[in-house]
A and B are shown apart, each in its own frame.
Chain A
């Protein structure tokens, strides 16, 4: 194939891959990508499940400020009800809701008398208790609602249905209502609850909804005089705004990186063409990685794409190496020949980097694994394009600016000159060792994944405010019970509720919202009926005590008949399906893989250990999501460090096989290891917290550190070639530092972590690699390296 044909084919293929990637790519900022996907512990599974469950598919809008807030909320609700992304909107508790509760519970009231029927029911039907109850009913008859009481009391003298209503309303929401609309308890804000049809992390679905709400509210606020204000709570809104921020961030970083790298190229080569040619392999590599990734995983995490942009800084090393060696070749030769000459170094360098990144694919954090796969594919593709396509774009004799050649010669002279006094050079690696020993033990590990996602503080504060206004239950602390099926979970929940209730009574817990309020187990319901029926002469007792305070004898005969006949079977999950209570049920009974989790929401957890101790012996756990995620991340950070060690051992083995000399293998390998530990040492010394992504970024640093080592070792024996390599390494170092330097300016904390680690690491690598080369090869004869 001719050079022209190769150029045309490769450019066409590149355009096709870019077009495919650009048209198909969908980004996400979901924290679920950084939660374990494997079996893990059940709590990990619950955590992952909750991150993208029905619970996160909802949004709360809170209208406050000056003006008719309720009217504005109603108008907004009407508009939302027509939005295709909105599954349901709730602005009030209507008659239908109350009617549903009546239909479901009134005829079943005896099933719900108590959560400890054998103990509590006898206490409720003592003479004193019945007399107190009779007086209470009589007092109620003096109120305007007496017509309601006169109808319900004969069939329900114990007030069982009244208690059910109180429990269900307590479980439903802590909101109040005004003019039939949901408002906060202080009445200052009108509330809308909104259910979403698709994932809150789906940008394509959520962005139009978020924009539409903002626009609609702006319109109605303008009509209302401009005094209203809207606050939101919802994962979807945060995800949409974050993704927009990420897109802007990636675009900005790409522009700055390309401009910076372009300027460097122009300074060194005085040729825009060289820049374009050198950019082709890394861009092609990233385009291939993107295209391949989205065919396997969609949506891609924004951090992966940001990481991909950063990889340009690594992959550009290969074309720079080729470009430099070809330009500085003493005799005019074809680019294909130059490529063939440096091919072993490039393959070895890229291969070791790919090995390092491939190790990341073994982790069960989807986000990290995704980054490992993306980098491996991207680096491999960039290498192939460098070796198989790029020479076709280079002329036989590339013009070389005088500065370029002079720089290479001076670098080579300096390194070879330094070899005459190798003892002094030991100061540098020993300094790195000292820095590592001092700094690494002082590292502050930061294992909270929430800190790695891009979230605007104002948005999260607003989200917190709205959530606090509608519910005082802690969104991140639960008791989770697990069973093989819904029925088992509900039965387990009876016992969980007993323990949680005793914890509340002991002051370890402020309160709880449990499925038990809506749906105790069938066996518990039947126990209630049995306990009521077991009370000797209950009908006569009620009749006697109530008539004692002025009720007509025999007035409560309907209750006796009800208890005898029981017109409805116990309440089951299926009875709640299709009713307004279904949403509550779904928030508390969550499928997790093959199991079913029953979740009890907690308020004001004062003693987690005591609560956990009370749950002993049950298939239930106290679950502090933030604490759990910290533990998970700590584990993964340690695992990733071990993977790096294992990957490094493989890399060293490969180098040993390649060079058949421990000294040369160490010369190529040690810069990477020392730079990684020294980078961590810098962070520990300066008090910069280190997270999982810093550790991942160390692989980048080590990959490039090994590349530098290999390139230098491979070229040290040949006069003139070492200069070209040193210049390549210097240039690569500049481009990398430039790319990752811009990454450290990113708004996204994860990308900032990667940028900072890589920027610091590569600078250290550039200093260390030539130094170790001089030390390592000072007594090594050129023939040995061949």
Chain B
């Protein structure tokens, strides 16, 4: 099954390009690469991240759990749209989908679908929402939930260490280490008090996705299990459940 085509970004690249160049010459837009951004504090990092209105990246995840003999590996795609929409489409080993819309968590896989109101539980909200807060540059939320330690590593590289403030959350999360360069998050490592670790690496960052309302609906709707795989280039992508 073919997924939906992205009409806007793929059909008018020339017009967008010319408009962009014209604005740049006029000094209205200052093109900046991720690495160019000067990031030397938590505030500057959050400011930079907050400039991203939407992003997409591929991810690979390794879970080192005491319960399992082998690490659990998975890979797929994440999409973030400001202010608080996030989707994670797992493509391997099985197809699964996770969508966050504000305080709403929707999950689906081959066994069915589920919806969770994250506002009902601080623990669930913080477990799920920390990456969304980082991607959105939501410094207030991050600092409300975590002790945040920032470190700049030069050339736009940075790292964050998040330690839960709530004792209830601390029963499940010891620390979250996040690393990145400029506006791009490179990896996230979650360590649990029992020694379990989950390491997620991101690559292929694309920002400014320019998603239409229909594409947003398709990506973040509750019941859809087959979704377009949006890219900044407008290419059609696979879908998690196809």
Interface residue ranges, A against B (CB under 8 Å): 92-95, 98, 136, 138-139, 141-148, 150-151, 153-154, 176-181, 547, 550-552, 555
Contact A178 B117, CB 8 Å, known A139-B96, A142-B74, A143-B98: yes
Q: Are A139 and B172 closer than 8 Å at their CB atoms? A: no
A153: which B residues are within 8 A, CB to CB? 67
A145 touches B127 (CB 8 A): yes
Neighbouring B residues of A94 by C-beta, 8 Å? 120
Cβ–Cβ contact A95 & B121, under 8 A: yes
Q: What residues of A have a CB within 8 angstroms of the CB of B103 in the complex?
A: 178-180
Query: How many angstroms from the CA of A555 to the CA of B70 in the assembled complex?
Result: 13
Contact partner, A151, options B63, B69, B94, B172, Cβ 8 Å: B172
List 16 A-B pairs, Cβ < 8 Å: A98-B121, A136-B111, A141-B67, A142-B74, A147-B192, A148-B123, A150-B65, A150-B67, A176-B115, A176-B117, A177-B117, A180-B120, A181-B119, A547-B69, A550-B69, A552-B66
B194:A150 contact, CB within 8 angstroms: yes
- Which residues from chain A contact B121 at a C-beta distance below 8 Å? 95, 98
Contact status A552-B67, CB under 8 Å: yes
Beyond A146-B65, A154-B67, 10 extra complex contacts between A and B, CB < 8 Å = A94-B120, A143-B107, A145-B127, A150-B65, A151-B172, A178-B117, A179-B102, A179-B117, A552-B67, A555-B66
Q: Kindly list the 8 A-B residue pairs having the minimum CB-CB distance in the complex, ordered from nearest.
A: A180-B119, A177-B117, A147-B172, A144-B128, A179-B119, A555-B67, A550-B68, A142-B74
Q: Which of A146, A547, A551 contacts B198 (CB 8 A)?
A: A146
B177 within 8 A of A: no
B209 CB–A CB distance under 8 Å: no
Interface size class of B (residues with CB under 8 A): 35 or more
Judging by beta carbons under 8 Å apart, are B96 and A177 in contact? no
Contacts A141-B67, A145-B127 given: A98-B172 contact, CB under 8 Å? no
Residue of B nearest to A136 (CB): B111
Mark contacts of B113-131 with chain A using CB atoms, 8 A cut-off: 1 yes-contact digit, 0 otherwise.
0010101111110011000
Q: Are B124 and A177 in contact (CB under 8 A)?
A: no
Interface centre among A92, A136, A138 (most CB of B within 10 A): A138
The answer to whether B120 and A144 have CB atoms under 8 Å apart is no
Closest to B196 in A: A150
A150 contacts B192, C-beta separation under 8 Å: yes
Once A95-B122, A138-B72, A142-B90 are accepted as A-B contacts, the answer to whether A180 and B127 lie under 8 Å apart by CB is: no
Name the A residues within 8 Å of B120 (CB-CB): 92-95, 98, 177, 180
Chain B, Cβ-Cβ closest to A137: B67
Task: State the CA gap A476–B223 with chains docked (Å).
Answer: 33
B104, CB-defined interface residue at 8 Å:
yes
Interface residues of B in 59-118 (CB under 8 A from A): 61, 63, 65-70, 72, 74, 90, 94, 96, 98, 102-104, 107, 109, 111, 115, 117
Residues of A within 8 A of B104 (CB): 178
B173 beta carbon closer than 8 Å to chain A: yes
Chain A, Cβ-Cβ closest to B104? A178
User: Are B69 and A139 in touch, CB under 8 angstroms?
Assistant: no
Bound complex: CA A93 to CA B74 (Å):
33
> Hey, which chain A residues are within 8 Å of B119, CB to CB?
177-181
Give Cα distance in the complex from A124 to B96, angstroms: 25
Please name the residue on chain A nearest to B73 by beta carbon.
A142
Number of A-B residue pairs having CB atoms within 8 Å of each other in the complex: 91
Checking A176, A177, A179, A552 against B68 with a beta-carbon cut-off of 8 angstroms, the contacting residue is: A552
Measured between beta carbons, the chain B residues less than 8 angstroms from A147 are: 127, 172-173, 190, 192, 196
* Nearest CB in chain A to that of B124: its residue: A145
Interface string of B127-155 (1 = CB under 8 A from A): 11000000000000000000000000000
Residues of B with C-beta under 8 A to A98: 120-121
Beta-carbon contacts under 8 Å, B23-67 to A: 61, 63, 65-67
- Nearest neighbor of B93 in chain A, beta-carbon distance: A142
Q: Which of B94, B117, B192 makes the CB contact (< 8 A) with A180?
A: B117
A408 vs chain B, min Cβ distance (A): 83
Contact check, A141 vs B192: say whether CB atoms are below 8 A apart.
no
B128: A residues at CB distance < 8 A: 144-145
In the complex the two chains form, what is the Cα distance from A141 to B72 in whole Å? 8
Residues of B within 8 A of A154 (CB): 67
Least CB distance from A26 to B in Å reads 43
Give the chain A neighbours of B127 by CB distance below 8 A: 144-145, 147-148
Cα A615 to Cα B238 in complex, Å, equals 53
A144 touches B70 (CB 8 A): no
A353 nearest CB across to chain B (Å): 66
User: Within the complex, what minimum Cβ distance (angstroms) separates A476 from chain B?
Assistant: 30
* Complex CA distance for A141 and B115, rounded to whole angstroms: 17
- Nearest CB on B from A404, distance (A): 81
A343 smallest CB distance to B (angstroms): 79
Residues from chain B with a CB closer than 8 A to the CB of A552 are 66-69
- Once the chains are docked, how many angstroms separate the CA of A179 from the CA of B102? 9
B201 CB to nearest A CB, Å: 15
List of A residues within 8 angstroms of B109 by Cβ:
139
Q: Which residue of B lies closest to A553 (CB)?
A: B69
**In the assembled complex, which residues on chain A have CB atoms less than 8 Å from the CB atom of B194?**
150-151
Among candidates B69, B90, B107, B123, residue contacting A551 with C-beta atoms closer than 8 Å = B69
Give the residue name and chain of the A residue nearest to B61 (CB): A142
A145 to chain B, nearest CB (A): 7
Chain B residues contacting A136 (CB-CB under 8 Å) are 111
**Could you tell me which residues of chain B, from 181 to 217, have a CB within 8 Å of some CB in chain A?**
190, 192, 194, 196, 198
Q: Chain B residue with minimal CB distance to A177?
A: B117
Which A residues lie within 8 Å of B196 (CB)?
147, 150
Q: Tell me the bound Cα distance from A217 to B172 in angstroms.
A: 42
A146 touching B98, Cβ below 8 Å: no
CB distance from B227 to the nearest CB of A (A): 18
A150 B72 Cβ-Cβ under 8 A = no
B66 touches A139 (CB 8 A): no
What is the chain B residue whose CB lies nearest that of A153? B67
Task: Please measure, in the bound complex, the distance between the C-alpha atom of A141 and the C-alpha atom of B69, giving whole angstroms.
Answer: 13
Which residue from chain A places its CB closest to the CB of B90 in the assembled complex? A142
Give chain B nearest CB distance to A597 CB in angstroms: 33
B193 CB → nearest A CB, Å: 9
Within 8 Å CB of A177, what residues of B? 117, 119-120
Contacts of A142 in B (CB 8 A): 61, 63, 72, 74, 90, 94, 96
Query: Most B CB atoms within 10 A — which of A93, A98, A145?
Result: A145
What CA separation (Å) do A136 and B109 show in the bound complex?
Answer: 11
State the Cβ distance, B90 to closest chain A Cβ, in Å. Answer: 7
Give the docked Cα–Cα distance between A119 and B42 (Å): 60
Q: What is the CB-to-nearest-CB distance from B79 to chain A, in angstroms, rounded to a whole number? A: 16
- How many Å lie between the Cα of A151 and that of B67 in the bound state? 9
Q: How far is the CB of A601 from chain B (nearest CB, A)?
A: 24
CB distance from B163 to the nearest CB of A (A): 15
Residues in chain B near residue A93, CB distance under 8 A: 120
Name A183's closest neighbour in chain B (CB-CB): B117
Report how far A98 CA is from B125 CA in the complex, Å. 15
In the complex, which residues of chain B have a beta carbon less than 8 angstroms from the beta carbon of A176? 115, 117
**B122 contact set on A, CB distance < 8 A:** 95
| Residue of A144, A154, A180, A552 with highest tally of chain B CB at under 10 A | A144
Is A141 touching B96 in the complex (CB atoms < 8 A)? no
Complexed CA–CA distance, A95 and B120 (Å): 6
